[in-house]
Amino acid sequence: MNKTGKALGIDIGGTSVKTGIVDTTGKLEHSKSFLTSELLKGKGLIPNLVDYISELREKVPIIGVGIVVPGILSGDRRSVVEIPNVLQLKEYPVLDTLESGLPEISFKLDNDAKAAALGAYCFDKNIDTSTFGFITIGTGIGCAAIINGKQFRGGHGNGLELGYLLTDGNEYIENLIGSNSICTLSGLPPDLIAENPELLVRRAADGDEISLKTLDKAGKLLGIALFNFVVLMDITTIYIGGGIAPALDFMLPAIYAMFEKMLPSYYRERIRIRKTILGNNAGILGAASLCFSEESL
């Protein structure tokens, strides 16, 4: 950590926008969640956030605001180039709008998975390595890597967009195991499947055969994605976060079966897949960490 004080973290997702005040130890306060669909109304998502930030900072002093999005950013990380789950932000001047509305505040913008990896490196005390992969599974799938304590960004700053990996039937993997679609993997009629991932996990825990088979299929698909990540990056410690992370225990047998069958022993002997203790707050903590760490630059 290179700074002290508290920062506001804002995690913009396709379903919800989660916010919270975070200090340099990772303590989260004043957390609040909004429906993304509600913030998109009226003036629009970013102007509505300006109003919220303005109101909040009157109650809590902050050193800056970090904002993360599930999308591909411009080279200067001031706007969003591609963001399929929040189309209003595509090509939107995010930082220009924020800085115009609140010129006295320092703002940072980054990809949600990359920021979450940074937040995990800063705040997850169970992470015992400086090189690891980080996968977030929510509405979409995000991916990041910390290598020797440094953020890996690829050739133009947007590497590791794992959600776009093609799998069954040339479909993006995030369209198959993201939170909006994972329950449909069984292929059964809607009245026979869980309505949401939380219910799917609860049913699986109760031994429901359909739910268990659904998560097994999701595990096989996630195993394909992780296989590609491992052999491309030579990184064998992977942390999983996001709203689908609670389902990981039910997917791991299929993932490890894939590894046992296909992964060369060089990687297989070292592989570790774990859930981050940051849970569903990984995005908020990652967003706030952008304000604390020079690794966000």
Question: Tokens at residue 94, please?
Answer: 């995010």
pLDDT at 125: 87
Does position 123 have pLDDT exceeding 80, yes or no? yes
pLDDT at 1: 53
Does position 216 have pLDDT exceeding 60, yes or no? yes
Give tens-digit pLDDT for 61-72: 999 999 999 899
pLDDT at 10: 97
Give tens-digit pLDDT for 69-87: 989 999 999 999 999 889 9
pTM: 0.85
Does position 239 have pLDDT exceeding 70, yes or no? yes
Which band of pLDDT confidence, cut at 50, 70 and 90, is reported for residue 297? very low
Does position 2 have pLDDT exceeding 60, yes or no? no
Give tens-digit pLDDT for 79-115: 999 998 899 999 999 999 999 999 999 999 999 999 9
Residue 294 burial class via C-beta count within 10 angstroms: exposed 0-12, middle 13-18, buried 19 and up: exposed
Residue 101 burial class via C-beta count within 10 angstroms: exposed 0-12, middle 13-18, buried 19 and up: middle
Mean pLDDT of 201-209: 92
Mean pLDDT of 152-160: 91
Closest CA to 53 of 92, 99, 8, 93: 8
Does position 191 have pLDDT exceeding 80, yes or no? no
CATH numbers and ranges of domains, the chain: 6-117+281-296 (3.30.420.40), 128-275 (3.30.420.40)
Provide the percentage of residues in the chain whose pLDDT is more than 70.
97
Does position 295 have pLDDT exceeding 70, yes or no? no
- Identity (one letter) of the amino acid at 164? Y
Closest CA to 20 of 123, 95, 166, 11: 11
Give tens-digit pLDDT for 218-233: 999 999 999 999 999 9
Q: Let me know: does 284 contact 66? Beta carbons within 8 Å.
A: no
Does position 244 have pLDDT exceeding 90, yes or no? no
| 42 compared with 170, residue with greater pLDDT | 42
Q: What is the mean pLDDT of the chain?
A: 90
Cα–Cα distances (Å) from 70 to 13, 90, 172, 295, in that order, read: 6, 11, 15, 19
Provide the percentage of residues in the chain whose pLDDT is more than 90.
67
